[in-house]
Amino acid sequence: MLVKCVMIIQMNKAHIAILFLITQFTLASAVPDIGNCSQAFFFAEEHDPGTKFTCSNQTAYYIWECKVIEVMFPICSKDEKCKSFNCQRSARGDFYKSNMNITVNDSSWLLEQIKVPYLKLKPVLLFQASRDGWYISDYHSKVNGYKNIYVFIKYKQTQRRAAGFTSLNQGLYYFTASDYQSYVLSIDKRIVATGSKNYRKLLVSSNYGPFFKDVEGQAVMTADYGSRIDKGYANCGLSKYYMPFEDNQLCSLSGLQNGYYEIDELEVWHIL
């Protein structure tokens, strides 16, 4: 009986040791992401040579895999312990063709918001107003026939970026339609408009550009001004399709008061 107890204790100790090693390996293998690569020098100064980390360039669309290294004499004084880092480009953001300065972190956050099942979450650029034209007819010529699209809007006055997602084919409807998968968001503020899915509507017609509205017909976010899409409406504070105001009572979508404003760029992305 004593032998059995000893064996059980020894086995438990071995099991605990294995779990400890697995835990240590898992913790050691978790590579920290420091965000902006401009912080890489500070990170290197505070960590031992051999420490790995990742970062992203906030003005580009790539992730960099890096490693802290020790800098030797004659580059560094014999009396000092100097450290630096080496990096290699690993991956680029999914919206790297965008004119909206969509960073790697922006890209990940935007795709995380999509709840349509069975999508691969691979964006393909369908339309870019600065390239394809600013008329409503230009928009529909490129976008009609596609479901699951992201509409990106950049407001000229503030350079604020907003977006709207819809699962509806923009060429099949000629009226107000419900879209339970749709939403609007502020890219810069990382705020998604919330409210009952039953209140999320779109006006879909060949006579209109992208037009997100609430159940009562009030526009939330549009790109529609006459026959063109170079002006759009941004509307915060609606109770049934709620996008909050900022502390200064400006709309979180545009950084401006509710109303029509010039659009600097408009893009449509098909999400595969």
Record the tokens describing residue 158, joined without a space.
């503030």
C-alpha angle with apex 150: 37 to 246, nearest 5 degrees?
Answer: 70
Query: Could you report the per-residue pLDDT of 141-193, keeping only the tens digit for each?
Result: 999 999 999 999 999 999 999 999 999 999 987 789 999 999 999 999 999 99
The arrangement of strands across the sheet holding 62-71 comes to 33-36, 52-56, 62-71, 82-92
Query: Could you report the per-residue pLDDT of 37-81, keeping only the tens digit for each?
Result: 888 889 998 999 999 998 877 665 677 889 999 887 666 776 677
Give 87's contacts (C-beta < 8 A, 6+ positions apart): 37, 40, 55, 64, 65, 66, 67
The pLDDT score that the predictor gives to residue 210 is 96
Q: How many CB atoms lie within 10 A of CB 231?
A: 19
